[in-house]
Structure 1
Amino acid sequence: MNTVSINPGRLFKDSLGNVSPIYGSLLLLNSPDIIFVLLINFLPYPINSILSIIYYLILPPLILGATIIYIYRYLNQNHISVADAFEYAASKYLRLLFGLILLVIILIPAFILLIIPAFILLIIPGIYLSIRLGFISCAIVIEDCSVIEVIKLSWELTAGRWWSIFWASLAVSLALVIPVFLISFLVIANLGVETGSVLSPVVSGTFSYLVSPVLGVYYVLLYTGLQRSNRAH
């Protein structure tokens, strides 16, 4: 079993270097997310809850799939349009939806822990599985595999590399999460709890949207790097 070192700093630097020419296109690909965030916070309950369920069952798999194929094709000097990227993702919608649902199920203990601390023992296997199966979406889009095949591919791709992938994922996640928390805190501190609690999700959501292209390139570069390493061995 091979152990492979991944340098998060170098990966992040490469992501910044590659994202510039396609930054605007990736923002366009992810624009439904920011539009939804801006609208949903101002809609009354239960309309916002119903729309959230509908939205998260339909658009995230398409946006993720379109983003992956757009970045991958760009990195391989085989550009496609935003419309073509969405069309390609739509042809794999059910498999992409399955991949996202699987990861949500795996991470459910982490959400339950917020309510029931006794579930803490389930977090470790949940994180482990989320790393081992974290490249299902990339495999679906890039390799065009069946559901069973992508699970096997992601499992094999991450074998012996769990810690390296975990730290690489944690580093870039913290780079996003910490600014989001700081922004939310500053908004609430300056505007008060009542106004800040309404505007904070909008401001933090806008920040997340603006950095999403970099995170997308980071994810695809991580996947392709693991691919090359796997083939070399």
Structure 2
Amino acid sequence: PEMLGFLSTYIPITILVSLLTLFLGSMIIKMVYDSTRKKLSLGVAAKFVLSRYITLLAASVLYFLITLVGVVAFIIPGIFLAVKLIFYDYVILIDKLGVTDSLEKSWKIVKGRWWGVFGLTLILSVISFALAFALGVLGGLLSGLSEALSEVIWLATQFLITLFIFPWYTSSLAFAYLQLRKK
């Protein structure tokens, strides 16, 4: 019963956070792209992202399933597939393609550049992890003060990670995609 209660709370919250993260990440991608064209408008970007949201959601599920199969088969194919298909959401938002076309275009853009894209994502991931770890350690040190304060500090730490690291990572990949797209 206790586990069921936990799952009935955890699963809906996880789904909601995932849907919100997809929206916010898509907003970052669209805003980065629009800023390179000097046509920046939060309202226009939000409307556009919402108009592409079902496509983004379907492509995200397909991306997850493809990389999951690769990871289950062996870890290396999962990493290979994740890197080859990493730009699917950028393609949907910038080139306005559909689910399978976005995966296909990501595959083509990464072709011959796999190690460079892998290196970039590895560097971004290591930096993101190091920053998140540092914030987590800082939060952990401060959390010894009281249990109630501990939860507040944990939430604040997660908020800071989300506020700074996620947009930096996503916008870095957006600029990388725009550069690769030109070539």
- What TM-score, normalized to structure 2? 0.82
Preserved contact between residue 135 and residue 223 of structure 1 (Cα < 8 Å): yes
Q: Which fold has the larger relative contact order, with Cα–Cα distance below 8 Å and residues 6 or more apart in sequence?
A: 1
Provide the identity percentage. Answer: 22
Give, in whole Å, the separation in 2 of the partners of 1:103 and 1:153: 13
Alignment partner, residue 124 of structure 2 = 172
Where do 5+ consecutive residues of structure 1 fail to align? Answer: 1-43, 113-118
Structural RMSD (CA): 2.7
Letter in 2 for 1:202: A
- What TM-score, normalized to structure 1? 0.66
Letter in 2 for 1:144: K
Give, in whole Å, the separation in 2 of the partners of 1:88 and 1:179: 31
Offset, 1:142:
0.8
Render the CA deviation track for 1:97-120: whole Å, top value 9, x for unaligned. 02222333344479x9xxxxxx6x
Alignment partner, residue 125 of structure 1 = 77
Where do 5+ consecutive residues of structure 2 fail to align? Answer: none
Render the CA deviation track for 1:112-146: whole Å, top value 9, x for unaligned. 9xxxxxx6x62111111011000000111111112
The structure with the greater share of residues assigned to helix is: 2
Alignment partner, residue 16 of structure 1 = none
Give, in whole Å, the separation in 1 of the partners of 2:16 and 2:123: 31
Alignment of 1:219 with 2:173, yes or no, is: yes
Aligned residue pairs: how many?
A: 176
Change beyond 3 A, Cα 1:228–1:206: same
Alignment of 1:98-137 (within 5 A): 98-108=58-68, 122-137=74-89
Give, in whole Å, the separation in 2 of the partners of 1:95 and 1:173: 26
Preserved contact between residue 183 and residue 200 of structure 1 (Cα < 8 Å): no
